[in-house]
Structure 1
Amino acid sequence: MAKFTDYNLKSEIYQALGAINFKEPTPVQEKMIPVILQGRSVVGQSQTGSGKTHAFLIPIFEKLNLTESTVQVIITTPSRELAAQINRAAKQIADMFDEKIRPQIGYYVGGTDKARQTAQLENKQPQIVIGTPGRIHDLSKNGALDIHKASTLVIDEADMTLDGGFLPDVDAIAGALPSDLQMMVFSATIPKKLQPFLKKYLNNPIIEEIPSETVIANTITNLLVGTKGKTKDEVVYSLLTMGNPYMALVFTNTKVRAKELAKYLRQQGLKVAEIHGDIQPRERRRVMTAIQRLDYQYVVATDLAARGIDIPGVDLIINDGIPNELEFFIHRVGRTGRNGQTGTAITIYNPDEEDRVASVEKMGIEFQPKNFSHGELKDGIDRRRRRQRHKSTQKLDPTMLGMVKKKKKHVKPGYKHQIKAAIAKDARFKKRVSDREELRANRKTKKKASDQARGK
């Protein structure tokens, strides 16, 4: 097994890794760090929570020219929360360097003071740029941020960048950089729509798909719970309060649903934080800071934040239904079970969501069926058994269907035999009727032929 000491890194980087108790590289780090140090462009596909951030930050700080005060590295992310997470990780490494040579990091995201950032850039350019594609592109386009000499571009969460409509901004940024650019693309999935962009900028990259036993970390337990006549509000509340989670995240499909659910949970006496698109940037930052301080035990969020939240200690995820985009299921669940820790993800579904549950299972997710009863989760019956049973292609007429339903309502000994006997009797009767009709038809045909013969 590889060790970080195998890479002969700067002493400051080792100090930073020691401070966060990183002893051995994760699989994605072990695969990626050596080839990035060689200057190769890479495409890294790995599950959420696998250590992708340090897979690119470690070689970036190792190769950084501390004497050159120009933009050397650009790191784009599709969400402010994820940008903040990477910025914190980068600063943790940078703070280990002596103040005189400390790497300069610029953090630029939407919702922050653009005028102030422009004024600061007039005095000094950062060596590492971290932010959202739109803000970085804006600062570059107006001439405040000089990115033309940058030799490294990182596109983190590329599939979410595509889904969010940020790829044109990333394209504009990449187009302004030197032709010998080293590009690093990291993502949990690589959609087909992303291929043209990759082919445009990546020349013979190293492509690494880090295998895993499942599409999510094997430290995560996936439970499936039906509503069984209850509302999803009631089920969510029961699941949140049946134990005492360190930190629980509840994901909803829409902003409207997030607000409704958060309101209901507050009415039940829970202190709940909300994260969704209707929360203004300043309030969002305040809420995220409060969450980081563990002021909240329960958080209701939309998929907008599914890959932007990195809160240590999240041990419970609740899916308020199957996400509209199935890939978001992986990103939601990936908020727990990080860095080898255990976690539980509970997916709630209505009877009309059977097909969507089956679609998630086709992605490689294995659910443990559970029933919620009397304040406890108990083992349930695998809903797939019904689909696996052999289904007869014989169709029954309405009369027989009525008989079957009637018999099932009044279950008595031998009722299955009685139903089978009735079906067989009905089949014999129909055959006799069919035979008689066929016989009559044959007689008519013969009579008609005989009459025509005599007529001749």
Structure 2
Amino acid sequence: MSFTQFKFKKYIEKALEELKFTTPTEVQEKLIPIVLAGRDLVGESKTGSGKTHTFLLPIFQQLDEESDSVQAVITAPSRELATQIYQAARQIAAHSDVEIRVANYVGGTDKARQIDKLASNQPHIVIGTPGRIYDLVKSGDLAIHKAKTFVVDEADMTLDMGFLETVDKIAGSLPKDLQFMVFSATIPQKLQPFLKKYLSNPVMEKIKTKTVISDTIDNWLISTKGRDKNAQIYELTQVMQPYLAMIFVNTKSRADELHAYLTAQGLKVAKIHGDIAPRERKRIMNQVKNLDFEYIVATDLAARGIDIEGVSHVINDAIPQDLSFFVHRVGRTGRNGLPGTAITLYQPSDDSDIRELEKLGIKFVPKVVKDGEFQDTYDRDRRANREKKQENSISK
């Protein structure tokens, strides 16, 4: 199967040729025909499945390039994610003989300049974060009342970051008969009322990945029992020799603590969490790209909006409170067929969470650091506890 079956406009085909996209991904093959048919859609698919082009390509195919009005609105929960979509859209638009106006409205950019530009012409495609888009709509500068398509990307992250109410307000400013699409890695229960409110008999598609975690990733489990965790993580850094390692933590305060500790040990460590100012975060990301750091300490929500290449190792300082984040974390390494190592630190009280992850098909290999190297180990306590719980459940 190839992209030619969709009979896209010539400039879209040229854009795909430039990207060397010849065969659609599983999610694209399944969902592009549904989107082209104008159906409302809830697409549950993991990051890296090609979902951005799943909605962008049909939007361009259905675009009236001669019109002066906004025809599509796309929200993303972070500046980085919005900018990634914007760059993908710009790449397609650049191949059109007729000018296609694509705008990126995110916080931390010059709002006055955006308003001035809107006074002379409206974009065909609006991309951005919910807050900035709604500000421009509320002030009357951005006219979205004629839009034909609304896309909410990374809906679960939008919910987690508290932006769903703003997305709701944007949706309330749009025509009732538009095409509504929601893409999300997971569909949490708290998202259901929003979906029922706006989507009309939507197609619900869950694109299953063949493996939960890439086969190229070594997924290890290391006990923290009786250990100082800061010292233990430092010990790991001395053994693993990473190209670039991401260390995931559950809270901003823990990120601050671990970053300070590892920096004091002389390691080159970056820190990314929600309280880092946008300008500072941009500076840090540039340093990461320049390989100024060997380690990045990050919280889940801050990291999900950032694409970082070349991650050889992932360390989970603790199992995430939301287990769905585990796959996102580990999936930072082992990309494009390259080998990667994920190390999860756990304590006995984490046993039930580990079993839940194992039910998803995630396999762990217990390890221990001994004599300056990683060695296989056998965690009898965890297995004994599990067998005991299984016996109890059977006897009931």
Q: Is the TM-score greater than 0.5? A: yes
Q: Which residue, 169, 172, 176 being the options, matches 1:175?
A: 172
Tell me which of 192, 202, 220 is aligned to 1:195.
192
Q: Which residue of 1 aligns with 2:31?
A: 32
How far does residue 330 in structure 1 lie from its aligned partner after superposition? 2.4
Match of 1:266 among 263, 268, 273: 263
Other-structure match for 1:444: none
Amino acid at match of 2:228: T
Partner of residue 104 from structure 1, selected from 101, 105, 128: 101
* 1:370 corresponding residue in structure 2: 367
> 1:90-136 CA distances to partner (integer Å, 9 max, x unpaired)?
223233334xx242221112233322322222222111111111111
Q: Which residue is equivalent to 2:320? A: 323
Q: TM-score, normalised by structure 2?
A: 0.90
- In structure 2, how many angstroms separate the alpha carbons of the residues matched to 1:377 and 1:369? 10
Q: Select the residue among 305, 314, 320 that pairs with 2:311.
A: 314
CA gap of 1:291–1:135, structure 2 versus 1, over 3 A, is same
Aligned to 2:281: 284
**Aligned-pair CA distance for 1:64:** 2.1
Q: Deviations over 1:300-355 (max 9, x none)?
A: 11112232121233232211101122222222223334455543322112344334
**Aligned partners of 2:194, 2:178: CA distance in 1, in Å?**
14
Amino acid at match of 1:310: D
Larger displacement relative to structure 2 (243-252 or 336-345): 336-345
**Identity in percent:** 58
Give 1:329's aligned amino acid: F
Structure 2 counterpart of 1:25, one-letter code: P
TM-score, length-scaled by structure 1: 0.79
1:118 aligns with 2:115: yes
Paired amino acid for 1:323: P
Q: Is the Cα–Cα contact under 8 Å of residues 49 and 335 in structure 1 kept in the other structure?
A: no
Please state if 1:47 is matched with 2:31.
Answer: no
Residues 211-269 of structure 1: CA deviation (Å, up to 9, x unaligned):
22444444443221122543322333333443443332211111111122122222222
| 1:79 paired residue number | 78
Q: Is the 8 A contact 1:221 1:344 kept in 2?
A: yes
Determine helix, strand or coil for the equivalent of 2:366. strand
Helix, strand or coil for the counterpart of 1:385?
helix
Alpha-carbon contact 1:148-1:176 (below 8 Å) kept = yes
**1-side partners of 2:245 and 2:268: how far apart?**
12
Structure 2 stretches lacking a partner, 5+ long: none
1:152 aligns with 2:161: no
8 Å contact kept, 2:157–2:301: no
SS of the residue corresponding to residue 174 of structure 1 reads helix
Structure 2 counterpart of 1:207: 204
Determine whether 1:334 maps to 2:352. Answer: no
1:408-437 deviation line (CA, Å, top 9, x unaligned): xxxxxxxxxxxxxxxxxxxxxxxxxxxxxx
What do the CA deviations read for 1:265-324 (whole angstroms, capped 9, x no partner)?
222222222111121111112222333444433221111223212123323221110112
Rate the CA distance shift 1:34–1:289 in 2: closer, same or farther, 3 A: farther
Q: Which stretch has the larger CA shift, 181-190 or 257-266?
A: 257-266
What is the one-letter code of the residue matched to 1:191? Answer: P
Structure 1: 5+ residue stretches without partners: 394-456
Q: CA 1:313–1:33 in 2, change beyond 3 Å: closer, same or farther?
A: farther
**CA–CA distance in structure 2, aligned partners of residues 366 and 355 of structure 1:** 14
For the pair shown, which has the larger CA radius of gyration, 1 or 2? 1
Residue of structure 2 aligned with 1:361, choices 358, 362, 365: 358
Residue 345 (1) aligns with residue 342 (2): yes
SS at match of 2:205: strand
Query: What is the SS of the residue equivalent to 2:344?
Result: strand
| Match in the other structure for 1:427 | none
CA distance in 2, matches of 1:382, 1:17: 50
Deviates more, 1:177-186 or 1:339-348: 339-348
SS, match of residue 242 in structure 1: helix
Distance 1:3 1:132, change over 3 A: same
- The corresponding residue for 1:433 is none
Q: Which residue of 2 aligns with 1:66?
A: 65
Indicate the RMSD between aligned Cα atoms, in angstroms: 2.4
* Number of the residue aligned with 1:224: 221
1:164 to 161, 178, 182: 161
**Matched residue, 1:387:** 385
Task: State which drifts further: 140-149 or 288-297.
Answer: 288-297
Q: Distance in 2 between matches of 1:311 and 1:270?
A: 19
